[in-house]
Every structure is written in structure tokens, then in C-alpha cells.
């Protein structure tokens, strides 16, 4: 389904990784591992098409994602470093707008359910703590269960124990449903998946 | 696709509503700049009447510039720009919606308040419709050309100054046609020619500017 062919990435004149190839099918979990500055975020951004690789290509169903553009991006959800929520809007407004932009039809009831699940009140985001903002971003996952590809950058950063477990369960359930999930993290998360792969960026440097 | 346009416009208008001071700043800037000229030049009715179209148009350009910096910068800072880049609609459509929202917030109020400024300069009432129409046709072009510049200078240090250097020269045709149409009407001639040229500029900008700013956004977001 998703295939990386001979990827190389250079940032600021320094080579982060090269000759990186892997393939990922539905129902598989992929962890991108490596120390800080090893290019985990760059690889994820390349995989969702926000960054163009120095060499190589990412293929979705055999076609290059640079050519597919929104045909590809409507099939994935990317949760990056930044929470990607607007400070002046409430959590529910943020979720509704993010889902509508991603082409997902969600009802207010589903959004309320997502807020409850992540124990968030419907406040303007500027009144929330960092951890709560992170949770507001991750609540999108609950509304994106129909999408076949999740790309998550450090999903467990700034989360408490229960929220971490919730997200781990969400990922495990999504993989069991036959979708592909990629996440970048220093440490191994406890996620049950039949096929669990690892891309170690230190080996590809 | 239309749903994406509606969503982005709704989002930006909602954000403007929550931050009314940002909207008021651009509008007050326009009012204050246009009010400074009579104070500096003196209350000579004929002179004021003859410079009014130019002054109003130049103030409109500057006021539009003032709010351009925020067009993509805020979204870039909090990460929502990445989500816009990954949306289900083509990026050109999203860029067009952003420019439309920018015009609704910072261009349309100028169109509405311009007759009041014209009154202050003692322009004959017959010129108000021409002035308003020229602004109505011209200010969307400013928003669209400006969105290309805002996308190109995204994330650069000193981007604000660079943005004005980049965009103001491109505003010259709009300024000439816009102010020209009002001056033609003031001289008793038909302003149709200038207004039609402004409309042509608007159509060309609407057709090409969103795609140019989409391409610029892709580069800047890397």
C-alpha cells in the first residue's frame, strides 16, 4: 500500500538518512526510531508529502504521492509536533473544522463523544494546558477511523499515563481494523499488532 | 470543493470575530491615514478634491498590506497550515478561500467606509458610486496578489518588510486604474474604460493568483 523507495533526506547541508526503503501494508504498524535530530519528523513529513525528499520517492498504491496530491492526502491523517489547533476557537470548533477540511463528515454528537473520551471540556484552546492541547489534537484520531493511514509524530509526548494508554488502544484497534499506522517515538509503545515493523534512522544515517 | 471554501472562509471569519482588534486596526489605519492629509496639506477645497482619489487608493493599498502579514503566518506558527496543505481539496482552492476571507475582513470594510472619507474631502456625491465600485473591483485583486507575497515570505526573518517590497510594485496597475477611474469621472468623462480594466485584472488574478500562492505555500512549508 505505502512504499518508500530509496529515500534520502538532507537538511541544512547535513545528510539525515539515505537509501531508506520499506513497505507497509494495511494492518501493519511501523515505528520510526532514532535519537533527537535523526530525522524522524522529516521522514514523517516526507511520507505525507509536506517535504520533498532529496532522492527517492514515496508511493501509494504504486503511484507517486507528489502526483496524487489531495487524492493521497484525503486518505491520511497526520498529527505533527504542533497541536495544530487554533487558540481562539473551542476544542469542538477546531475538531469540526479539521475534519471538514480533511473531507470527513462528522456529526456534533461524534465530536462530543470524542471530547468525552479524551476528557476535554469544550473551552477555547488558549485556556488549555500543553497536555490538553495535545489531547485535543489526538481526539481527531477518534473521528478519523475511516482513514486507511495514520502518521503520528511523537503521539505520546506530553500525555499522562491514562491518555497514553487510550492512544495506544486506539492505534491497536485501528491496526486490527486493517489500516496502517506509522508513528515516530524514542521508546517502544505497548501496542498489540500482528505485524510490527521498525525503521531505525541510526542504521540509515 | 465548495465545502472546503466555505469551511476555510467560515474558519477565518470566526477567528476574525474572536480577534476584532485585528480587523479594527486595519480599518482605523485607513481612516487615520486619509485624515492626516488634510491636516498636513491645509484646508484648500480644490486641492483636497483633486488629491482625494489618489490618497484614498494609496491608503487602501497600505491598509491591505498591514493585514497581509498575518494571512498565513498565524496558521504557520500553530501548525494548522500543515493541515490546510493536507486537506482533501486542491491547495489552490484553499488559497483562494484564504484570499477571499482576507478580502471580506480587510477589503470590504474599506469599500463601505470610503464614501465617508470622500465626504470628508468634499468629493461630489456623484463620484461616490465610482469610488466604491473601483474599490470593490480593486481590493480583491490586492488580497489575491498579496496572498502570493505572503506565501512566499512565510517564515522568513524580516518577512514583513520584504513582503511590502515584493507586493507594492505589483499593486501599481490596480492603483493607476482605481484612482484613474475616479479622476476620469471627476473630469466629467466616462470611467468605464478603467473600471473594465480593473474587472479584467480581477478575473486574471482570480484565475492565476490562487495557484501561484499554492505553489509558494508548498515551497515555504518545507
Read off the pLDDT of residues A124-166 as tens digits, 9 standing for 90 and up: 999 999 989 999 999 999 999 999 999 999 999 888 899 999 9
The whole-number average pLDDT for the span A175-192 is 89
| Cα four-point dihedral sign B165, B169, B171, B176 | positive
Q: Among A115, A147, A179, where does a domain finish?
A: A147
Q: Mutating which of A86, A95, A151 best tests the B interface, going by the most B Cβ atoms within 10 A?
A: A86
Residues A45 and A71 in one domain: yes
- The 10s digit of each residue's pLDDT in B2-39 is 899 999 999 999 999 999 998 899 999 999 999 999 99
Residues A99 and A14 in one domain: no
Q: What are the cell numbers at A153?
A: 509524530
Structural domain of residue A111, as residue ranges? 83-147
The whole-number average pLDDT for the span B185-198 is 95
Tell me: pLDDT of A205 over 80. Answer: no
Quote the CA–CA distance of A4 and A21 in Å, as a whole number.
5
Q: Mutating which of A74, A101, A130, A137 best tests the B interface, going by the most B Cβ atoms within 10 A?
A: A101
The whole-number average pLDDT for the span B50-60 is 95
The beta-carbon neighbor of A87 closest among B78, B82, B84 is: B78
CA-nearest of A60, A29, A71, A49 to A155 is A29
Q: What is the pLDDT of residue A172?
A: 94
Q: What is the pLDDT of residue A197?
A: 87
Residues A164 and A125 in one domain: no
Using a CB-CB cut-off of 8 Å, the residues of chain B touching A76 are 86
Quote the CA–CA distance of A120 and A128 in Å, as a whole number.
9
Q: Among A102, A124, A147, where does a domain finish?
A: A147
Q: Which residue has the higher pLDDT, A193 or B20?
A: B20
Residues A5 and A59 in one domain: yes
Residues A99 and A34 in one domain: no
Searching chain B, which residue's CA lies closest to the CA of residue A98? Answer: B83
Residues A67 and A90 in one domain: no
CATH number at residue A35: 3.40.50.300
Residue B88 near residue A69, CB atoms below 8 Å: no
Tell me: pLDDT of B117 over 90. Answer: yes
- The 10s digit of each residue's pLDDT in A39-85 is 999 999 999 999 999 999 999 999 999 899 889 999 999 999 888 99
Instruction: Give percent above pLDDT 90 in chain A.
Output: 73
- Residue B32, SS3? helix
Tell me: pLDDT of B129 over 90. Answer: yes
Residue B65 near residue B167, CB atoms below 8 Å: yes
ipTM: 0.92
Q: Among A132, A147, A162, where does a domain finish?
A: A147
Tell me: pLDDT of B70 over 90. Answer: no
Q: What is the pLDDT of residue B170?
A: 95
CA-nearest of B33, B27, B29, B187 to B121 is B33
Using a CB-CB cut-off of 8 Å, the residues of chain A touching B3 are 100
For chain A positions 57-96, those within 8 Å of chain B (CB to CB) are 69-70, 73-74, 76, 78, 80-89, 93
Q: What is the rounded average pLDDT for all residues in chain B? A: 94
Cβ distance of A102 and B4 shorter than 8 Å? no
| Cα four-point dihedral sign B131, B135, B138, B142 | positive
Query: Which ranges of A70-160 does DSSP label H, i.e. alpha helix?
Result: 70-73, 91-101, 108-117, 130-143
Tell me: pLDDT of B43 over 80. Answer: yes
Report residue A186's pLDDT band, with 50, 70 and 90 as the boundaries: confident
Residues A41 and A128 in one domain: no
**DSSP structure string for A151-205:** EEESTTTT--HHHHHHHHHHHHHHHHTT-EEEEE-SS------SEEEEEEHHHH-
Q: What is the pLDDT of residue B107?
A: 95
Q: What is the pLDDT of residue B156?
A: 85
Q: How far is CA A142 from CA A40, A169, A192, in A?
A: 24, 11, 18
Quote the CA–CA distance of B9 and A197 in Å, as a whole number.
41
Using a CB-CB cut-off of 8 Å, the residues of chain B touching A89 are 11, 14-15, 18
Residues A89 and A57 in one domain: no
d(CA B2, nearest CA chain A) in Å:
11
Residues A3 and A92 in one domain: no
The beta-carbon neighbor of A50 closest among B4, B87, B221 is: B221
CA A167 centroid distance within chain: 12
CA angle at B72 for the pair B70 and B77, rounded to the nearest 5°: 90
CA-nearest of A62, A194, A67, A74 to A144 is A74
Residues A30 and A122 in one domain: no
Cβ distance of B83 and A102 shorter than 8 Å? yes
Q: What is the pLDDT of residue B204?
A: 97
The beta-carbon neighbor of B15 closest among A73, A86, A103 is: A86
Q: What are the cell numbers at B151?
A: 506565501
Residues A39 and A14 in one domain: yes
Give the number of domains in chain A. 2
Report residue B133's pLDDT band, with 50, 70 and 90 as the boundaries: very high
The beta-carbon neighbor of B79 closest among A74, A82, A93 is: A82
The beta-carbon neighbor of B82 closest among A50, A85, A124 is: A50
Residues A46 and A67 in one domain: yes
Cβ distance of B78 and A74 shorter than 8 Å? no
Amino acid at each position: 500500500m505505502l512504499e518508500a523507495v530509496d529515500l534520502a533526506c538532507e537538511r541544512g547541508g547535513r545528510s539525515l538518512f539515505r537509501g531508506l526503503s520499506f513497505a507497509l501494508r494495511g494492518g501493519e504498524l511501523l515505528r520510526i526510531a532514532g535519537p533527537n535530530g535523526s530525522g524522524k519528523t522529516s521522514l514523517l513529513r516526507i511520507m505525507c508529502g509536506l517535504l520533498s525528499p532529496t532522492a527517492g520517492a514515496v508511493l501509494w498504491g504504486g503511484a507517486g504521492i507528489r502526483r496524487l496530491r489531495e487524492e493521497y492526502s484525503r486518505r491520511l491523517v497526520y498529527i505533527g509536533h504542533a497541536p495544530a489547533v487554533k487558540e481562539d476557537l473551542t476544542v469542538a470548533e477546531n475538531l469540526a473544522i479539521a475534519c471538514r477540511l480533511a473531507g470527513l463528515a462528522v456529526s456534533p454528537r461524534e465530536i462530543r463523544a470524542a471530547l468525552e473520551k479524551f476528557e476535554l471540556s469544550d473551552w477555547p484552546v488558549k485556556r488549555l494546558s500543553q497536555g490538553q492541547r495535545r489531547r485535543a489534537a489526538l481526539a481527531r484520531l477518534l473521528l478519523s477511523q475511516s482513514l486507511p493511514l495514520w502518521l503520528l509524530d511523537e503521539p505520546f509526548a506530553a500525555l499522562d499515563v491514562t491518555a497514553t494508554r487510550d492512544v495506544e488502544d486506539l492505534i491497536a484497534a485501528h491496526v486490527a481494523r486493517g489500516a496502517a499506522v506509522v508513528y515516530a517515538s524514542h521508546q517502544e509503545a505497548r501496542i498489540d499488532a500482528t505485524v510490527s515493523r521498525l525503521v531505525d534512522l541510526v542504521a540509515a544515517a | 470543493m465548495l465545502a472546503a471554501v466555505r469551511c476555510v472562509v467560515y474558519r477565518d471569519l470566526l477567528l476574525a470575530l474572536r480577534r476584532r482588534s485585528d480587523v479594527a486596526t486595519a480599518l482605523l489605519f485607513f481612516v487615520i491615514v486619509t485624515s492626516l492629509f488634510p491636516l498636513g496639506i491645509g484646508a484648500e477645497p480644490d486641492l483636497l478634491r483633486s488629491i482625494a482619489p489618489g490618497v484614498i487608493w494609496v491608503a487602501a493599498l497600505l491598509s491591505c498590506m498591514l493585514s497581509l502579514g498575518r494571512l498565513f503566518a498565524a496558521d504557520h506558527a500553530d501548525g494548522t497550515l500543515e493541515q490546510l496543505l493536507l486537506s482533501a481539496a486542491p491547495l489552490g482552492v484553499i488559497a483562494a478561500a484564504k484570499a477571499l476571507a482576507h478580502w471580506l475582513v480587510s477589503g470590504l470594510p474599506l469599500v463601505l467606509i470610503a464614501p465617508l472619507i470622500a465626504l470628508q474631502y468634499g468629493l461630489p456625491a456623484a463620484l461616490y458610486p465610482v469610488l466604491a465600485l473601483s474599490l470593490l473591483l480593486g481590493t480583491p485583486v490586492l488580497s489575491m496578489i498579496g496572498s502570493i507575497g505572503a506565501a512566499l515570505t512565510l517564515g522568513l526573518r524580516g518577512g514583513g518588510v520584504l513582503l511590502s517590497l515584493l507586493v507594492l510594485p505589483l499593486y501599481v496597475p490596480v492603483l493607476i486604474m482605481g484612482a484613474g477611474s475616479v479622476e476620469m469621472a471627476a473630469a466629467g468623462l466616462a470611467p468605464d474604460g478603467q473600471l473594465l480594466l480593473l474587472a479584467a485584472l480581477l478575473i486574471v488574478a482570480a484565475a492565476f493568483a490562487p495557484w501561484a500562492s499554492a505553489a509558494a505555500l508548498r515551497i515555504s512549508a518545507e
